[in-house]
Amino acid sequence: MAAKSDRIEWTSGLCDCFEDASTCCYGFWCCPCLACTVSGRFGENYCLPLCDVASAWTGTLYGFPLCVPPAVLSMRASMRNRYGIKGSLCKDIAVACFCQLCAWCQMHRELKNREKAPTVINMQHQTVYNMQPPPVVVMNTNPPAPGFVTHSVVVTQQ
């Protein structure tokens, strides 16, 4: 986890819809689809955002949310934590309650921008030595009978 001083900003603002209009159009026409896509791309269960349905219904019925939508809040806080993004839980709660669609769009843009970032792999050349064992010389320890010529046999191990 990055130290507080090392934290960065979101790659796009909460209301930067014109930065990536396709994301916001997708979210406007089918917010649950966008939310499920974000959840899946982030490595969570695709159905996680469906937990927010009850909060959306109470918000529609009473004009304001009676509880914090759990999926958008947890995804936003988790994304901030994983990527070292500045912010606070208090701000995440406010965004989750009053700007739910914008929050999903911002998280979608964040994931898209991070997928575009190149991955740098630092490889070092390693020298490999192929050392073979020395040849084994087998010699007959019994003295040869008179009149016979003996030769040393060289055997290599493979």
pLDDT at 89: 92
pLDDT tens column, 65-84: 667 888 899 999 999 999 99
Cα separation, 128 vs 20, whole angstroms: 49
pLDDT at 7: 82
Answer whether residue 70 is part of any domain: yes
Answer whether residue 14 is part of any domain: yes
Number of domains comprising the chain: 1
Residue 13 pLDDT greater than 80, yes or no: yes
Answer whether residue 3 is part of any domain: no
Residue 22 pLDDT greater than 90, yes or no: no
Residues 6+ away with beta carbon under 8 Å from 117: none
pLDDT at 24: 65
Q: Which comes out higher in pLDDT, residue 149 or 137?
A: 137
Report residue 84: phi and psi, to 5°.
Answer: 70, 45
Answer whether residue 40 is part of any domain: yes
pLDDT at 78: 93
Domain housing 60: 10-116
pLDDT at 127: 74
Answer whether residue 54 is part of any domain: yes
pLDDT at 47: 86
Which of 3-17, 19-33, 78-92 is predicted most confidently?
78-92
pTM of the complete model beyond 0.85: no
pLDDT at 140: 63
pLDDT at 155: 55
Answer whether residue 86 is part of any domain: yes
Answer whether residue 83 is part of any domain: yes
**HSE, side-chain direction, 13 A CA sphere, residue 141:** 0
Q: Burial, 70: exposed, middle or buried (Cβ in 10 Å; 0-12, 13-18, 19+)? A: middle
Answer whether residue 133 is part of any domain: no
Cα separation, 70 vs 53, whole angstroms: 10
Residues above pLDDT 90, as percent of the chain: 18
